[in-house]
Amino acid sequence: MKSIHTISDVENFFSDLLLKESLNFHPDEDFKNYINVETRLPSYSPEDAESRNRLMEACFEVCEKEGVEIYEIGLQFLLDRLK
């Protein structure tokens, strides 16, 4: 994903993080802090982490503009994954 402009983009980004990247994430966490549980190495290169941080920042901006609670979107995706 290259940009976030709509709530649908936010949902797709969250879905990709959970399903494609198998990341148990929190919207407030810096992507530089995630590590691979098996290897104990960073999950993302510095460039990839920064790219995801920018996308997450855009998620916050879109949600604020649309009056949507970003944490509720994230929680729903996490709960769906845990089912």
Q: What is the pTM of this model?
A: 0.89
CB-side neighbour CA atoms (13 Å) of 83: 6
Per-residue pLDDT tens digits for 1-35: 789 999 999 999 999 998 899 888 999 999 999 99
Tens-place pLDDT, residues 20-77: 998 889 999 999 999 998 899 999 999 999 999 999 999 999 999 999 999 999 888 7
Distance CA 76, CA 40 (A): 28
Side-chain-facing half-sphere of 51: CA atoms under 13 Å: 10
How far apart (Å, rounded) are the C-alpha atoms in residues 23 and 78? 10
